[in-house]
């Protein structure tokens, strides 16, 4: 039963994130006169579909993503696979550009359409963060207790110190400190703090604590924002968004550089398992606690999808954006067929990554 609830929550969360992303593409494409042939949620066998105007809407069996298929894009890539030639519609023996086809739209229209998907992910994230800020207890970056023998004590930090910045990066939430230490792999850390109204600096070197299996500053926190006033809710909503964006970006960087192992990577199967763990751990505290944690996961996933799709990787929005930006600088587009070859190669690579992540999820669950 727990697995069923986990799967239902996952489908709801992932569908909201995917629909938000694809709706961004859809709305801006339509606003720019680009025809959208299909709007898909999920992949694989179609559960149900309907057609409105020129767009077919489909819900598919596997909740692993979605797509907004613009007129002309799929034809070009199919031509590359089949070895045929792509051309615009012809009239009186002359090529006539159909501006409703994606590749024939202006570069600015294509750029806006491509960037709208990730942008809508961030908008969804802001809305979710706003709801969360009104439901959760916000921890301030204050060291309420200094652990004996810890790095903070050795560096001279005192109980009550408010951490303002770490290595020059401003800190607004205590969770930002936790993210920093979880990605720490060595070296001195510059801490800017406030004590009794005065700002100071100190240098500490986080210590590895076997019990927790990670490096720690050696501080604990019990200081919370007790009540939000006026515009505070928007300020802390921004802090939550900023925190999640930085966490995802730093995690991607750590993954690329090898500072994170494959055990730290989760695909759809891993997320379902994570949802189950969250439900099991938080359900004793009531449905509101479960809901807050599901919102937190939604925020993390929508920010993740937004950032991931902006990466300049072929077949992703960022890869297609790169070609449009090159076109703007060159004053003419890269030959469509050459671009299609690049994106098809990117699709193959992404499929291989999806398979690898799937098996990694299975490995993590049973080990």
Which has the minimum average pLDDT: 99-103, 171-175, 207-211?
Answer: 99-103
Residue 89 has pLDDT above 50, yes or no: no
The DSSP output letter for 137 is: P
DSSP string, 252-273: HHHHHTTSS-GGG---HHHHHH
pLDDT tens figures, 15-73: 999 999 999 999 999 999 999 999 999 888 999 999 998 899 999 988 778 889 988 76
296: which residues sit within 8 A by CB, 6+ positions away?
A: 132
**Inter-helix orientation angle 268-282/2-31, to 10°:** 120
Report H helices in the chain: 2-31, 73-82, 107-133, 151-155, 174-183, 232-256, 268-282, 287-310, 317-330, 336-365
Q: Considering the chain, what percentage of its residues have pLDDT values greater than 90?
A: 38
Would you state the pLDDT for residue 363? 63
Residue 201 has pLDDT above 90, yes or no: yes
Task: Look at 116 and 223; give whichever has higher pLDDT.
Answer: 116
Determine how β-strand 138-139 pairs with β-strand 94-95: unpaired
DSSP string, 87-108: ---EETTEE---TTSGGGS-HH
Intervals of CATH 2.30.42.10 along the chain: 139-227
Would you state the pLDDT for residue 76? 55
Question: Which of 98-102, 231-235, 250-254 shows the highest mean pLDDT?
Answer: 231-235
Which has the minimum average pLDDT: 141-145, 248-252, 318-322?
Answer: 248-252
44: which residues sit within 8 A by CB, 6+ positions away?
A: 60, 61, 62, 64
Rounded to an integer, what distance in angstroms lies between the CA atom of residue 323 and that of residue 19? Answer: 25
Q: What is the mean pLDDT of the chain?
A: 83
Would you state the pLDDT for residue 18? 93
Task: Look at 137 and 35; give whichever has higher pLDDT.
Answer: 35
**Which CATH architecture is the domain 139-227 placed in?**
Roll (2.30)
- Residue 213: its H or E element: none
252: which residues sit within 8 A by CB, 6+ positions away?
A: 307, 308
Would you state the pLDDT for residue 285? 73
In which band, very low, low, confident or very high, does the pLDDT at 78 lie, cut at 50, 70 and 90? low
Question: Which of 84-98, 248-262, 284-298, 323-337 shows the highest mean pLDDT?
Answer: 323-337
- Tokens 């992540």 — which residue? 357
Interval 145-168 mean pLDDT: 91
Angle at 318 between CA 102 and CA 31, to 5 degrees: 35
Residue 285 φ/ψ region, left for φ over 0, alpha for ψ in the -120 to 50 degree band, beta for the rest:
alpha
Please tell me the pTM assigned to this model.
0.82
Residue 123 has pLDDT above 90, yes or no: yes
pLDDT tens figures, 341-361: 888 888 888 888 777 776 766
Rounded to an integer, what distance in angstroms lies between the CA atom of residue 143 and that of residue 195? Answer: 11
Would you state the pLDDT for residue 278? 78
Rounded to an integer, what distance in angstroms lies between the CA atom of residue 319 and that of residue 296? Answer: 28
Are 39 and 293 contacting, i.e. CB atoms less than 8 angstroms apart?
A: no
pLDDT tens figures, 267-308: 666 677 777 777 787 778 777 888 888 898 899 999 999 999
Task: Look at 26 and 99; give whichever has higher pLDDT.
Answer: 26
């Amino acid at each position: 039963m727990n697995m069923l609830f986990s799967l239902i929550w996952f489908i709801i969360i992932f569908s909201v994130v995917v629909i938000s992303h694809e709706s961004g593409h859809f709305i801006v494409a339509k606003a720019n006169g680009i025809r959208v042939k299909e709007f898909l949620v999920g992949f694989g066998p179609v559960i149900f579909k309907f057609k409105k105007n020129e767009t077919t809407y489909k819900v598919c069996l596997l909740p692993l993503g979605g797509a907004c298929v613009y007129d002309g894009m799929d034809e070009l890539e199919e031509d590359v696979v089949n070895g045929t030639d792509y051309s615009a519609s012809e009239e009186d023996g002359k090529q006539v550009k159909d501006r409703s086809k994606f590749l024939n739209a202006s570069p600015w229209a294509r750029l806006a359409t491509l960037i709208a998907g990730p942008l809508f992910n961030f908008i969804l994230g802001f809305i979710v963060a706003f709801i969360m800020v009104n439901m959760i207890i916000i921890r301030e970056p204050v060291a309420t207790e200094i652990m004996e023998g810890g790095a903070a004590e050795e560096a001279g930090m005192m109980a009550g110190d408010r951490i303002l910045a770490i290595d020059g990066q401003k800190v607004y939430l205590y969770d930002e400190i936790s993210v920093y230490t979880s990605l720490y792999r060595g070296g001195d850390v510059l801490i800017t703090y406030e004590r009794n109204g005065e700002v100071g600096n100190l240098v500490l070197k986080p210590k590895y604590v076997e019990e927790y299996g990670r490096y720690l500053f050696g501080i604990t926190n019990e200081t919370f924002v007790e009540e939000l006033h006026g515009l505070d809710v928007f300020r802390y909503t921004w802090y939550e968004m900023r925190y999640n964006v930085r966490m995802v970006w730093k995690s991607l960087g750590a993954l690329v550089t090898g500072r994170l192992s494959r055990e730290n990577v989760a695909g759809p199967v891993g997320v379902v398992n994570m949802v189950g763990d969250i439900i099991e751990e938080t359900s004793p505290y009531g449905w509101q606690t479960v809901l807050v944690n599901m919102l937190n996961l939604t925020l993390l996933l929508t920010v993740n999808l937004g950032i991931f799709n902006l990466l300049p990787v072929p077949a992703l929005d960022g890869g297609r954006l790169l070609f449009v930006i090159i076109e703007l600088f060159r004053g003419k587009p890269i030959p469509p067929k050459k671009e299609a070859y690049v994106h098809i190669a990117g699709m193959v690579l992404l499929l291989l990554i999806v398979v690898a992540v799937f098996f990694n999820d299975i490995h993590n669950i049973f080990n």
